[in-house]
Structure 1
Amino acid sequence: MGLVLKHVEQTRSGSWQYRRRVPKDVSEVIPKREFKRKLGDSQREALAAYPQYHAQVERVIEAAKKRMAGAVAASGRSGGAWRDRGSLGNRCRFSGRELPARGL
């Protein structure tokens, strides 16, 4: 039995990738359906790249949760009723590049 890393899979070509769905509770803030990145061509490369990228994804998700909580507190609404995307802007920064908001 080998080492099992959460959200890591081997592609058909043999390389390793990180693949994780964006949690539903923050999908309004993060403008994509999943986090996906090639970790390397070998298992050793994937093991080396995994901790840094996984930590980055966790930080983005945590920041999105805080942003949602702050917006809910500011509006005085419950979490399920909040839908104001305009106050968050049309772009999200992740991984050093800008991503278009969902639907663009």
Structure 2
Amino acid sequence: MVFLVSKRKLFLFLQYVGLLELKAKDFKVLLYLLPYLSFENYRKVSQKDLKHEMKMSKSDVSKAISRLIENNVLKSNPASKYKTKNKELKLYDYDLEELENMVDELVEEDWIDED
């Protein structure tokens, strides 16, 4: 397998996602999709197929994808002809410095909230 993105960027992206307040089902969907998605190109994702493969309800799959999009983990193609049952998705493409800053901010927030 050839990685088109640096390991550092992928690790920072995963660290950032881990610091977000997402639900377990959101993480489950993201982890399932990770091998299929990239930062550069959109891929068609069938919510119906995900529902069957992951043994989740269509509603749970749809809500998880929506939360991942709202939290800028996934990006949906605005020009896509698919609107409901299928989506064209990719990983949200942050640059390395931006990811480092976002991780630092979230870690600092967690330290401040604990006081």
Same fold at TM > 0.5: no
Instruction: Give the TM-score taking structure 2 as reference length.
Output: 0.27
Task: Name the structure with the higher strand share.
Answer: 1
